[in-house]
Amino acid sequence: MSPDRYCQDKAAASGSSFYYSFLFLPPDQRQAITALYAFCREVDDVVDECSDVGVARTKLDWWRAELDRCFDGEPTHPVTTALLNPVHERNLPREYFQEIIDGMEMDLERTRYESFSDLALYCHRVAGVVGLLSAEIFGYRDRHTLKYAETLGTAFQLTNILRDVREDAERGRIYLPLDELFEHRVNPHDLLRLEPGEGMRGLCRHQAQRARDYYRRALDYLPDIDREAQRSGLIMAGIYRTLLDEIESDGFRVMEHRVRLTPLRKLWIAWRTARRERRWQRHYLKQAARA
């Protein structure tokens, strides 16, 4: 199996919403972003699948060393082999990849976050930095686009945290800030027992509003000149914001079941967003020509 095929299978098997946005990219960008996503899945799986913390740390250390081999031109894993050309051709920063691993390692060190300021660092490392790398792959002309990409990545992570509250609690993890749990009269021990009480709905509504604020700020940061290049991120935003809408429409019953969008619906949202962005780009070019 070729390295690119390995990465493609890794991305497709996850069922992630990101995969559907990749379909509308040119081949070189699709190869690069798929390899990046596969890397994120690999290091995330280390934390999720290793019950022994020592073994997980050893595996993450191996990935740190493998990144060095990749940047030195001597990768040994299919994912880093697929990353080799994007890393050098697009000048992707080594420290961004290392920071993603740092974020995954935080899951080995803590299972609670006292406040949102604590959680924000985690979100930046595991998602915001991925947004920055994605912006480098998609291309940009205005550096404000980097602020858009980092903020959008955090918005995605906040949505994931809300969607996965039950699954995380079953693993003994709480990503919702503890001070906000207490504010809404949700006892962390009750949450871990999957019986958080009536305050959970208000707590989730608060988290959803924060995520919406991050989506809004991200889109406000995106310069018009880079909107076409960042179309894939806009497709992802369309899918994730729809997921957030579904969680809300379902009454924030995230402790009862995980809210999902069907593959067909994700594809429909991706196609519809891509079509809308093409129309927007034609309008933008006409306006620019008249100026």
Q: How far from chain centre, in Å, is Cα 18?
A: 8
Q: How far from chain centre, in Å, is Cα 160?
A: 8
Among 239, 228, 241, smallest CA distance to 270 is for: 239
**Integer Cα distance of 119 and 126 in angstroms:** 11
Q: How confident is the model at residue 231 (pLDDT cuts 50, 70, 90)?
A: very high
pLDDT of 71 reads 95
Q: Return the CATH superfamily for domain 110-271.
A: Farnesyl Diphosphate Synthase (1.10.600.10)
pLDDT of 9 reads 86
**Integer Cα distance of 291 and 156 in angstroms:** 36
Average per-residue pLDDT for the chain:
93
Q: Is 1-107 assigned to CATH 1.10.600.10?
A: yes
> Once rounded to an integer, what is the mean pLDDT over residues 193-211?
96
> Once rounded to an integer, what is the mean pLDDT over residues 244-254?
96
Say how many CA atoms lie within 13 Å of 75 toward its Cβ.
18
> Once rounded to an integer, what is the mean pLDDT over residues 58-65?
95
pLDDT of 291 reads 64
Tokens of residue 246, six digits: 């579904």
Tokens of residue 267, six digits: 């594809």
Residue 286 scores a pLDDT above 80: no
> Once rounded to an integer, what is the mean pLDDT over residues 7-36?
84
pTM of the model: 0.93
pLDDT per residue as tens digits for the range 106-158:
999 899 999 999 999 999 999 999 999 999 999 999 999 999 999 999 999 99
**Integer Cα distance of 195 and 187 in angstroms:** 9
**CA–CA–CA angle 178, 182, 184 (5° rounding):** 115
Q: How confident is the model at residue 290 (pLDDT cuts 50, 70, 90)?
A: confident
**Integer Cα distance of 38 and 43 in angstroms:** 9
1-107 against 110-271: fold identical? yes
Tokens of residue 23, six digits: 């379909």
Tokens of residue 103, six digits: 């974020």
Domain boundaries, the chain: 1-107, 110-271
Burial degree of 207 (CB within 10 A; 0-12, 13-18, 19+):
buried
> Once rounded to an integer, what is the mean pLDDT over residues 261-277?
91
Q: How confident is the model at residue 280 (pLDDT cuts 50, 70, 90)?
A: confident
Tokens of residue 171, six digits: 């693993």
pLDDT of 278 reads 86
> Once rounded to an integer, what is the mean pLDDT over residues 12-18?
71
**Integer Cα distance of 149 and 227 in angstroms:** 11
